[in-house]
Structure 1
Amino acid sequence: MSKSAFLSGGVALIILSIAGFGGWLFSLPPATVAAEAPPVPQQEGDAMLASLKPKRERPLVAVIGINDATETTDYLMPTGILRRADVADVMMLATGPGPVQLYPALKVEPDATIAAFDAAHPEGAGYVIVPAMSRDDDPAAIAWLRSQAEKGATIIGICAGAKVVAAAGLLDGKRATTHWYYLGEMLRRSPTVRYVADRRMVADGSVTTTTGITASMPMMLTLIEAIAGRDKAEAVAHDLGLEQWDARHASGAFRLTRPFATTVLASSVAFWNREELGVRLEPDMDEVSLALIADAWSRTYRSSASTFAASSETVESRNGVRVIPDQSGTNWPEGVRVSTFPHSKPADALDRTLDAITARYGERTTEVVAMQLEYPRR
């Protein structure tokens, strides 16, 4: 997987376009389906909360990443949401020393390596959150996941992180879900996984998986509810800009369509029409908003988001995420600088970013971004 989770897919689309473009393109659905998200039975929701109940009064949560390519929002949004809730101790880990390069944007300093974590916490984590990674079978990540599962950790695969969980053998014979784009691949590699449609999150025993990138928001609120109760989860949801959340999802609305493919192809071919947009890092900025905004702008196939600050020193977010600027000592030109909407709640900041993408590139590009994020737009 390259800088964007879908750049490799875009290259594949271009190759396909050269070899029989017309037939392949017109074999795709002409539009997305206006699917309705079915209700989730109360007993299913109760069972998920029961499976996520903590084993310790104040649990320890480990968010694991590989250093060279871990998905931006999958890594930062769980960290930011859980830390603002203050119901657990949360550590961002890396398989090796040094920073974690996130994709499609941002670079951060982890709190520790997995080796340092193991030395400090030989009993293991209460929860391990697994983002999408550029390699599903990274040996260090796989071995560490297995060891944490053996110690009793609850494993939560975010988005295509479910493929990493599956590669570790932790989804064998279990019910699960993942990002729509990678579902077929996961089932081919792990044929005993039982896919569950129309759910943003699926729990089976000590393993929970989610659909696309933005599903980590309702997933973390559900985890907060399991740890600290509904009132606490509702307070954090309000702080995020969400008035309701649950496991409902219309899976049929997310798939590869003709408009998606043609928009990606047109933007990929017009490589000269791509721009680098600046995101100014500010101390105490909201890391959830930052992740969503940088992620969205870097998935347009028309732009990439780069961070800048007054110096090369790390900039610490509101909840202790240390972000390394891509550039320092420069003031990005106003016309190619994007807002982080500092006075908006994170969910609202994402919606406003999608509106800004529409204004800059058009609605079809925004639909491509929302489809990659697997975001049911409000």
Structure 2
Amino acid sequence: MRRKWPMTGLLGLLYFAACVHAADERLSTYQPRFEREQPVVVVLAQNQMTELTDFVVPLGVLRRSAVARVLAVATDPGVVQLMPALSVRADASIAGFQRDFPQGADYLIVPAVHDSQDARWLDFIRQQAALGATVIGICDGVLPLAHAGLLHDRRATGHWYSREQRLSDFPDTQWQENRRYVVDGQLMTTSGVSAALPASLALVEAIAGTAKASALAQQLGVSDWSTHHDSEAFSLGSQGYLTAAGNYLARWRHETFAVTLLPGMDEVSLALRVDAWARTFRTEVQGVANQPVFSASGLEFIAQRADAFGLPKLPGGMMPVGQALDEALAEIATRYGASTRSLVAAQLEYRHDEQDRQHLDTHKP
């Protein structure tokens, strides 16, 4: 006779399955190697066109946590041009890091970049994975991981905009939806740009425990760094493409804003704010300082201008990290309208306050 599961037993099984899945989405607890007092974390960059938030947010959050030695490593020595705005100087080149750390990194963070198939980059990623590093692809930093051959038969995710490309180019990867980040062994990948912050807190949790991550999240003004995310809700749609085209083509309405780079500034809040404004398709943001500036985490920013003469100040102001995107999107809506705000939020894969209100109104009983 077929056994009938009582409802309580069925719910128990479902709960157990959910817990197992949740456990799978956590990075393994850090295990010290090579007698290191702290893990070595490399945040990787290409000198040309590395995504601003993907690069700066993990570096800033991990350095603020003080639980790891965090190095900004670029393909070559010198300046790193971030996209869509700002420039920084890396701590070391790939060659320099390999010389100074022959045992490799404990964690390698790979942001989205312009050239996902750069041979030197892919060789370095493969090498660090072979040496035992946990590899973390932020947003479409998943694409270099795929090109490096790390995603065969693995679970992974990426920015919603690259979904079709990923499915076509890498059909043997088990692409996951509706997750801010996916963990498969020593591999972690995230959804769109705004996932850099929760993923960074998840890494702090793996290194130093939940209490440390919770305390840091509270300092940052972040209430949640779980995997919960509705990536399938994001798209540009016809309105988004029309807004992007209209903003781009209306050159007479384009604006260049100045953002003053100050010593000790909060680079995480700055990155989120500037990234949002620079995605409107009608705004350029330039960093202003008369000398190189070191942020709160010690990241060296390189100014595009020595003074702000003739340029308006970037609207809004520095906010706590957890409020930075909402504040920037609200200012964008005030200046350029709700359609441009929605265009930017979709690119960042970020549900802003107005979207949350509409979502709640739609689902009221």
**What TM-score results when the alignment is normalised by the length of structure 2?**
0.88
Partner AA of 1:221 in structure 2:
L
Q: Percent identity?
A: 41
- Within 2, Cα distance between the matches of 1:82 and 1:41? 29
CA contact (8 A) 2:288 2:305 kept: yes
- 1:34 is matched with which residue? none
Q: List runs of 5+ in structure 1 lacking aligned partners.
A: 1-39
- 2:343 is matched with which residue? 368
Deviation string, structure 1 residues 314-337 (Cα, Å, up to 9, x no partner)? 10000101000000044454xx21
Does structure 1 residue 178 correspond to structure 2 residue 158? Answer: yes
CA contact (8 A) 1:70 1:133 kept: yes
Deviates more, 1:83-92 or 1:57-66: 57-66
Deviation string, structure 1 residues 272-295 (Cα, Å, up to 9, x no partner)? 211111111111000001111111
Aligned-pair CA distance for 1:187: 2.2
Q: CA RMSD in A?
A: 1.5
CA contact (8 A) 1:340 1:349 kept: no
**What TM-score results when the alignment is normalised by the length of structure 1?**
0.85
Q: How many residues align?
A: 334
Match of residue 124, structure 2, among 141, 144, 149: 144
- Written as runs of structure 1 = structure 2, the 5 A alignment for 1:1-12 is none
Deviation string, structure 1 residues 214-245 (Cα, Å, up to 9, x no partner)? 10111011111111111110111111111222
**SS of structure 1 residue aligned to 2:139:** coil
CA contact (8 A) 2:26 2:183 kept: no
Partner AA of 2:328 in structure 1:
T
Match of residue 331, structure 2, among 356, 361, 370: 356
- Within 2, Cα distance between the matches of 1:306 and 1:289? 16
Q: List runs of 5+ in structure 2 lacking aligned partners.
A: 1-16, 354-365
**SS of structure 2 residue aligned to 1:49:** coil
Deviation string, structure 1 residues 237-288 (Cα, Å, up to 9, x no partner)? 1111112220001122112311111111211221221111111111100000
For the pair shown, the structure with the greater C-alpha radius of gyration is 2
- Within 2, Cα distance between the matches of 1:172 and 1:340? 44
- Within 1, Cα distance between the matches of 2:342 and 2:50? 23
- 1:23 is matched with which residue? none
Aligned-pair CA distance for 1:51: 3.1
Does structure 1 residue 284 correspond to structure 2 residue 260? Answer: no
Partner AA of 1:327 in structure 2:
R
Which protein, 1 or 2, shows the higher relative CO under an 8 Å CA cutoff with sep ≥ 6? 1
CA contact (8 A) 1:316 1:323 kept: yes
Distance 1:262 1:225, change over 3 A: same
- 2:292 is matched with which residue? 314
- 2:227 is matched with which residue? 247
CA contact (8 A) 1:241 1:346 kept: yes
CA contact (8 A) 1:142 1:167 kept: yes
Aligned-pair CA distance for 1:205: 1.5
CA contact (8 A) 1:289 1:340 kept: no
Distance 1:98 1:276, change over 3 A: same
- 2:359 is matched with which residue? none
Match of residue 214, structure 2, among 220, 225, 234: 234
- 1:346 is matched with which residue? 321
Partner AA of 1:147 in structure 2:
Q
Aligned-pair CA distance for 1:347: 1.9
- Within 1, Cα distance between the matches of 2:98 and 2:178? 37
- Within 1, Cα distance between the matches of 2:232 and 2:304? 38
